[in-house]
Structure 1
Amino acid sequence: MKKYNFDEIVQREGTNCIKYDARDWAFNTNDVLPLWVADMDFKTPDFVVDAIKKRADHEIFGYTLKPESYFQAIIGWMKRRHNWEIQKEWVSFSPGVVAGLTMAVETFSKPGDEVIVQPPVYFPFFECVKGTKRKMVENPLKIENGRYTFDFDDLKAKISGKTKLLMLCNPQNPGGMVWTKDELAELSTICIENKIMVISDEIHSDLIFKKHKHIPFATISEEAANNSLVFMAPSKTFNVAGLSSSIAIIPNKTNFARYERALGVGHLGMGNIFGSVALEAAYAHGDEWLEQMLDYLWENYQLVKAFIEKNLSKVKVMPLEATYLVWLDFTEYGMKDEELSKFIVEEAKVGLSNGGRFGTGGDGWMRINIGCPQSILQEGLERLGQAFENK
């Protein structure tokens, strides 16, 4: 068994990488250690790189079909990782998960319709709704026993005859929770009873830690499958976010046809040759690499938790069940969102994701990306510790 090295530091500056080369845009300075945007500092695994190199050797990159092996890799991965038996006829393409979410909003609702989002949540959700001239209805999550859960009473109170869609983040970003089957089942029941379609962003579905299990929304019941679109991708899992390799899984034939029509109007269905190659290689050969990477991420999370408990006792760490994104509660310091962000950038010289961007409930929180070598993470934590030492 090959042992992968996640301690290796890869020079990313100067490669037009957003995480490093857009620091001045994000923080008004390049003098920050970037632990923000959600991609990892680990090398894309060798079996993915090798597959891309092999295809590049052909030296013609014309219009290209997705082969049967592409679909079988997806089917096999869903069965092995999520115990979900899908059919080839359910699988469609998306240039990216956010692009897919936006197409779904445009396809299954009309301007003026209401779309429910559940903040604090991945902030592009907001633009998917507002940018398509739909009305965003917030159903904020609530914290129980240290983790987020759905507020079903609030949800029921906010549904109207104009409510057509609910956008679900599963697993949850930025909170890092894995929704339980009971939570998802109750959500599904409410949505079915009120004829609300669920659009489920499951891009982090492979990044699940031990004792937890990702449940694809469509596996809750046959009714849930017929009332949902599930978006997944190898991009977060295998660090290939730049390759446009997302997929939509849509069991309902009518909904599948409507989504495919929207994809076809924009001539978006072909995708990127190397994205298809990367997806197939990742899903066909990625199990062992992923297990080793998850073990490394768990060690990073333990490092964060231990350091903060010892050096930043006012900060609360939301328990991590999934993703490589840890949600940190700085509210005890009494700083508003903008003040907190400015302090961390100027005094700690660390670039984190601003909690306010994630909507209601995010003010005073920060999201840290732990998908990096431990030496980088340790440096970031020490900078935070020193900055807040006398606060």
Structure 2
Amino acid sequence: MSAGKNTETSADASAKNAQEPSGPAPDFDTLIDRQGTSATKWERYAGRDILPFWVADMDFAMPPFIADAVRSRLEHPILGYTRTPPSLVAAFQAWMQHHYQWRVEADWLVWIPGVVGGFNLAARATARPGGAVMIPTPVYYPFLDVPGNAGQRAQHVPLVREGERWVMDMEALERAASPDTALLLLSNPQNPTGRAYSRAELSELAAFCLRRGIVLCSDEIHCPLLLDPAVRHLPVASLDPDIARVTISLYAVTKAYNMPGLSCAVAVIPDAALRRNFIRAQAGLVPGIGPLAYAATEAALNDRGPWLSQLLHYLRGNHERVRSVVGRRMTPVEATYLAWIDVRDLDIEHPGAWLEDAGVGLSDGAAFGAAGFVRFNFACPRPLLERGLTRLQAGLSSAPARGEGRSTGSN
């Protein structure tokens, strides 16, 4: 189970990522009022004194060049059905080559509205009678619905904590696998633990999938959000042509550029037969992508400016602030803006509800397949973060230690 840290960037790249970004910094400190926008994140607690740090979108403005691209498209008065623009395809290919040194062919790409639909389509494309879907847990909770949605069995295999990292338990994966295992769902960078898996880890997983005849679907939506300057994201399908042949890789820039309301994603599927099955699984179910989403996505893919590095610099500061309060309850976040906090030593049955009573709204770990944890989204202005951390600390401090008497978390 042991795996080294993913420190494969060159010295120049590491130094570039670690230094403070140049150029005028965006205003990440000012809280933007999202009332009246039907924002999912804030509407959950409307009318209640609970600060939301749950769903994974950011409380920052999208970069100006995204807004400019949308406005530019709106200068044309018709928003009709839209084919995937060739310029978008070229932008994605250039983005993959620039950031990950992976040459992606245009005919490998299947454009879809979002990655959640993508990993559900992967399950439908690989489903077999009596088949199973293997899922390392904890994981982004829509993963857990995938087997049932596709009429397959679920095979959950818990990650294990080794020191300051969560790692895949390869021995447990081997034990859980069966001849009926058709698909393995991977989250990399991993939501909610914040891991960016190393080459050694991914190579071992790829070898396992090839040996067992399992298709690997890798959700890589968080790949631009690397907080550890020494860590590099490695697309698992880029490791070897053989693993590429059995891999469906899912990408979207909507997470990193904070535009999840402009849904656009892409599945990279090098194998023609697997790609045909994936496309066939969409029939009658998957809508097209709108022209505004295409325009925004292309603008993000073409970005080579400082905005993203400035965002990451700010998120690193937020991450360090969360760690200073939470301490060893969480492991360092290599990627994503999500802290996975261990509260198993506290005698509270529903930690999410308990912390809501303290005025802070986090995601309860039970939804991710791991009771006794909470997930904290720290992608927000620092003044809001400080208010949330004060409430979080108070809520944790007021909870009874295990053995002192159980609380249901609903005072």
For normalisation by structure 1, the TM-score amounts to: 0.93
Q: Secondary structure at the match of 1:242?
A: coil
Quick check: 1:325 aligned with 2:338? yes
Residue 300 (structure 2) aligns with: 282
Alignment partner of 1:364 out of 372, 377, 396: 372
Residue 235 (structure 2) aligns with: 216
Code of the residue aligned with 2:356 in structure 1: it is V
Quick check: 1:20 aligned with 2:42? yes
Alignment partner of 1:388 out of 363, 378, 396: 396
Residue 51 (structure 1) aligns with: 69
Q: Would you say the 8 A contact 1:111–1:132 is kept in 2?
A: no
Residue 17 (structure 2) aligns with: none
Q: Sort the Cα spacing of 1:62 and 1:308 in 2 relative to 1 into closer, same or farther, 3 A.
A: same
Alignment partner of 1:98 out of 116, 122, 129: 116
Residue 75 (structure 1) aligns with: 93
Q: CA offsets per residue over residues 275-322 of structure 1, 9 Å max, x none? A: 11111000102542111100100000011111234xxxxx61211100
Aligned positions of 1:203-352 closer than 5 A: 203-209=221-227, 210-263=229-282, 265-266=283-284, 268=286, 270-285=288-303, 287-309=305-327, 316-336=329-349, 338=350, 340-346=351-357, 348-352=358-362
Q: After TM superposition, what 4+ stretches of structure 1 lie above 6 angstroms from structure 2?
A: none
Aligned-partner Cα distance in 2 for 1:147–1:101? 25
Code of the residue aligned with 2:25 in structure 1: it is K
Residue 197 (structure 1) aligns with: 215
Cα offset, 1:140, TM superposition: 1.2
**Larger proportion of helix:** 1
Q: Would you say the 8 A contact 1:8–1:373 is kept in 2?
A: yes
Quick check: 1:41 aligned with 2:51? no
Aligned-partner Cα distance in 1 for 2:241–2:284? 31
Code of the residue aligned with 2:134 in structure 1: it is I
For normalisation by structure 2, the TM-score amounts to: 0.88
Aligned-partner Cα distance in 1 for 2:205–2:33? 44
* Percent of aligned positions that are identical: 35
Cα offset, 1:77, TM superposition: 1.1
Q: CA offsets per residue over residues 254-285 of structure 1, 9 Å max, x none? A: 2222222333x227363111111111000102
Q: Would you say the 8 A contact 2:160–2:166 is kept in 1?
A: yes
Aligned length: 376
Q: Sort the Cα spacing of 1:286 and 1:326 in 2 relative to 1 into closer, same or farther, 3 A.
A: farther
Quick check: 1:122 aligned with 2:130? no
Residue 200 (structure 2) aligns with: 182
Q: CA offsets per residue over residues 313-347 of structure 1, 9 Å max, x none? A: xx6121110001111111222323x1x2222111x
Cα offset, 1:390, TM superposition: 4.5
